[in-house]
Amino acid sequence: MARKRTRKFKITKGERLLYVGGFTAFILAIMLQIFCGASIGNLKMSVEKLNYEISNQNKTNESLTMKVNELTAFDKVKDVVKDMGLAYNNDNIIIIDN
């Protein structure tokens, strides 16, 4: 009767070092992806916040421009001049084009 030889599977030190290094690299890659994803999400939120603030400032600017246009309208100026007791003189009006 022949005996069957059983071989034990041995992992050498070099193989063990390679396996541990590969596993460590895999874990570090996953952690790097998580942290970078969180950083990108934070940047996207700050960009959206700035876009919201810019749109609000644009609305405010448009509103103020409309008020300036109302206050500098010829009829409004004419009423203010009359209230101050001044006379309207067409010769003193100078039109400046931009």
pLDDT of the residue at 61: 97
Please write the tens of the pLDDT for every residue from 21-50. Answer: 999 999 999 999 999 999 999 999 999 999
Residue with more model confidence, 2 or 51: 51
Q: Give the mean model confidence (pLDDT) for residues 58-74.
A: 91
- Within a domain: 60: yes
- Within a domain: 27: yes
- Within a domain: 67: yes
Hey, what are 82's tokens? Answer: 């009359």
- Within a domain: 75: yes
Q: Give the mean model confidence (pLDDT) for residues 72-88.
A: 81
The C-alpha atoms of residue 55 and residue 34 are separated, in whole angstroms, by 32
The C-alpha atoms of residue 7 and residue 88 are separated, in whole angstroms, by 115
**Contact between 88 and 98 (Cβ < 8 Å):** no
Expressed as residue numbers, the domain containing 42 is 21-88
Look at residues 53, 75, 73, 55 and name the one whose alpha carbon lies nearest to residue 65: 73
- Within a domain: 45: yes
Q: Is the pLDDT at 79 greater than 90, yes or no?
A: no
Please write the tens of the pLDDT for every residue from 4-25. Answer: 777 777 889 999 999 999 999 9
Average pLDDT in the chain: 88
- Within a domain: 12: no
Q: Is the pLDDT at 91 greater than 80, yes or no?
A: no
- Within a domain: 11: no
- Within a domain: 10: no
How many domains, in total, are found in the chain?
1
Segment (H or E) for 58: helix 13-71
